[in-house]
Amino acid sequence: MISTRFPMFLTVIVILAGCVSEKNSTENSGLMGPYLGQSVPADTAELFAESIVSTPLYARDITFTPDGKEIYFCVSAMGFNLIYMAKEVSGVWSDPQLASFITNTDYMFYEPHITPDGNRLLFLSNMPEDDDSPATEDIWAVDRQGDGWGEAYNLGAPVNTEGSEFYPSTTRDGTLYFTRAEKGSRTNEIFRSRLVNGTYAEPEKLGPEINIGTNRYNAFIDPQERFMIIPAVGLEDSRGGTDYYISFRNDDDTWSQAVNMGDRINSENGREFSSSLSPDGEYLFFMSARAGENRSPEIAELQKNFASPLNGNSNIYWISSDFIWGLKPQDGQGGSKH
């Protein structure tokens, strides 16, 4: 089984580290404008921020502050699984650097999510709460303090258990959606916990419209709770491995049957299990591991391809979100764009 959080090809990363060209350096000072100064995509998916975010390394999981001036994303390499950030200061973007709340890189810091109000950043970590606690995969949080973040803390019960909890995603009213694998289980299920008077209620496991296929991972909830994007495996219409599916929420809090999101974002590769929206909802960001078309066995070509983002490692793509609404059931059920 391919883990959704730990890449299995760090040996390749060692090769990549020696092959990265000057073009793929992270010396990007001078970038200006929204989204790291990148040209926005239309209805065809494009690599996001090539040589900055999307590099020869394994990248995934991206989130933004509401004003779009801070970007957080994940990179795995050389045994590290960490969150990096880039920040716009006086109109100019900084180079990516470790997120400020990471205190011990021996542990995993993954799957960042900034709440719609910008006041909290949730993430996955396997660091222990204290010296007497076991290291388990839990959802952690940091709260906004001025221009930075406070000290990280474990979200605790009832969200976190002795099992694994990961991939937090929240709505505007504070409802938390996340994935859980019960202790000793390799089956992941999607849960929801309402925020009541500042406290998370007992999580509820969502129904078969959401917990689809033979396994599912890292569901993303639209901040307005209109739809959910579900990476799932084991369905007949899969393009290969894990695909992105979508279910729309109805006014009575039921969900439409999930449908495959199609060839705009799904492909034959098996590592498509992380998505999010831009703060304004205009762009869908998603993880995919796509290789270039040149498969020459010549050593010089192999080195060149390994030094490219299209080397088969996961990277982050983006596309206009308009196509999402064409996937809504024709009976009119499910959310609307406005």
Write out pLDDT tens, residues 157-200: 999 999 999 999 999 999 999 999 999 899 999 999 999 999 99
Higher-confidence residue: 312 or 296?
312
Q: Which of 272, 268, 287, 313 is nearest to 19 (CA)?
A: 313
> Do residues 230 and 274 touch, judged by C-beta distance below 8 A?
no
pLDDT of 140 above 80: yes
Query: What per-residue confidence (pLDDT) applies to 2?
Result: 41
Residue 23 pLDDT level (bands cut at 50, 70, 90): very low
> Do residues 249 and 334 touch, judged by C-beta distance below 8 A?
yes
Burial 307-330, CB ≥16 within 10 A → b, else e: bbbbbbbbbbbbbbbeebeebbee
pLDDT of 270 above 80: no
| The dihedral sign for the CA sequence 304, 306, 307, 308 | positive
Query: What per-residue confidence (pLDDT) applies to 4?
Result: 46
pLDDT of 19 above 50: no
Paired with 244 in beta bridges are 231
Higher-confidence residue: 304 or 52?
52
Mean of all residue pLDDT scores within the chain: 88
> What are 47-66's pLDDT values in tens digits?
999 999 999 999 999 999 99
pLDDT of 333 above 70: no
Query: What per-residue confidence (pLDDT) applies to 335?
Result: 55
> What are 105-114's pLDDT values in tens digits?
999 999 999 9
Query: What per-residue confidence (pLDDT) applies to 26?
Result: 42
Query: What per-residue confidence (pLDDT) applies to 338?
Result: 53
Query: What per-residue confidence (pLDDT) applies to 37?
Result: 95
Q: Could you give the CA distance from residue 281 to residue 45 in angstroms, rounded to a whole number?
A: 16
Q: Could you give the CA distance from residue 139 to residue 117 in angstroms, rounded to a whole number?
A: 19
pLDDT of 8 above 50: no
Residue 222 in tokens? 């639209």
Q: In the chain, what's the furthest Cα-to-Cα distance?
A: 62
Q: pTM for the complete prediction?
A: 0.89
pLDDT of 251 above 70: yes
Residue 6 pLDDT level (bands cut at 50, 70, 90): very low
pLDDT of 272 above 70: yes
What the chain holds in terms of domains, given with CATH numbers, is: 10-39+49-307 (2.120.10.30)
Residue 16 pLDDT level (bands cut at 50, 70, 90): very low
Query: What per-residue confidence (pLDDT) applies to 239?
Result: 87
pLDDT of 337 above 70: no
User: Alpha helices of the chain — where are they, by DSSP H?
Assistant: 10-19, 34-37, 299-306
CB burial of residue 22 (10 Å; 0-12, 13-18, 19+): exposed
Determine what percent of the chain is predicted with pLDDT higher than 70: 87
Query: What per-residue confidence (pLDDT) applies to 290?
Result: 83
Query: What per-residue confidence (pLDDT) applies to 331?
Result: 67
Residue 216 in tokens? 């599912």
pLDDT of 302 above 80: no
